[in-house]
């Protein structure tokens, strides 16, 4: 607000501006650029003739569910049988819809438990459970700990069904321990 200007004067000037007549609406010019009432725009390249379109009903059944006259039964395409990897074992119906679990070769000297431990260690560092390697002092970073715990939980979700029971139990217990320590630290933090 400007010095010496009363508040009601500013409000009055704003209301005057609001009630002033504004610029007129744009009205297209009359003449060649404007189409005649009811006229349809012409597509470029059309010569004015309507193309002949033929619609054929290929449905096999009527609205009542009866087979239409003159419709032949089409034989279903034959699907070649897929050779199963274990010819002596018959598949159960629920196995047919699941993905095939094939053992993958793990790199030498590295396994899933090492990955879990490598991802849990920064969370412990951020929670102050282990000293910082550079300073030797425990540090508390709850946001960093939460992100590490969430990443471990994401790993659990994405790997569901692909872990051995031991790996699954290890990941669940590590997540539980980290969450409990996070809750305890967040309550004691200022």
Give Cβ neighbours of residue 129 (< 8 Å, ≥ 6 apart): 138, 181
* pLDDT at residue 141, as a whole number: 93
Q: Measured between alpha carbons, how far is 5 from 162 in angstroms, rounded to an integer?
A: 74
Residue 104 token pair: 């993958």
Q: What is the pLDDT of residue 89?
A: 56
What's the pLDDT score for residue 188? 86
Collapsed DSSP state (helix, strand, coil) of residue 50: coil
Q: How many residues does the chain have?
A: 190
Distance CA 52, CA 46 (A): 14
CA atoms 94, 99, 105, 173: torsion sign:
negative
- Tokens 């379109």 belong to 53
Are 147 and 107 in contact by the 8 Å Cβ rule? The answer is: no
Q: What is the pLDDT of residue 40?
A: 58
Asked whether the beta carbons of 126 and 148 are under 8 A apart, the reply is yes
The whole-angstrom distance between residue 180's C-alpha and the CA centroid of its chain comes to 30
Q: What pLDDT, on the 0 to 100 scale, is given for residue 107? A: 78
Report the pLDDT value the prediction gives residue 9, as an integer from 0 to 100. 47
In whole angstroms, what is the distance from residue 55 CA to residue 12 CA?
Answer: 68
pLDDT along the chain (190 residues), means of 10: 50 51 59 53 60 82 81 65 55 57 71 92 94 91 95 94 92 96 88
What is the model's pTM?
A: 0.45
- What's the pLDDT at 10? 47
pLDDT of residue 183: 95
Phi, psi of 61 (to 5 degrees): -125, 155
pLDDT at 55: 84
Going from the C-alpha of 188 to that of each of 129, 173, 175, the distances in angstroms are 14, 23, 20
């Amino acid at each position: 607000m400007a010095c010496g200007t009363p508040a009601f004067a500013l409000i009055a000037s704003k209301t005057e501006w609001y009630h002033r007549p504004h610029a007129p609406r744009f009205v297209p010019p009359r003449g060649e650029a404007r189409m005649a009432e009811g006229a349809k725009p012409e597509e470029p390249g059309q010569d004015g003739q309507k193309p002949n379109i033929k619609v054929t009903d290929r449905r096999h059944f009527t609205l009542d569910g009866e087979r239409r006259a003159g419709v032949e039964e089409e034989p279903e395409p034959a699907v070649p049988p897929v050779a199963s990897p274990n010819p002596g074992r018959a598949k159960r119906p629920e196995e047919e819809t699941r993905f095939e679990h094939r053992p993958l070769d793990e790199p030498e000297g590295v396994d899933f438990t090492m990955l879990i431990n490598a991802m849990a260690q920064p969370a412990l560092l951020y929670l102050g459970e282990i000293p910082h390697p550079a300073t030797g002092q425990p540090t508390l970073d709850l946001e960093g700990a939460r992100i590490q715990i969430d990443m471990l939980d994401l790993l659990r979700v994405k790997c569901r069904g692909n872990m051995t029971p031991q790996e699954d139990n290890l990941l669940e217990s590590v997540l539980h321990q980290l969450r409990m320590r996070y809750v305890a630290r967040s309550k004691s933090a200022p």
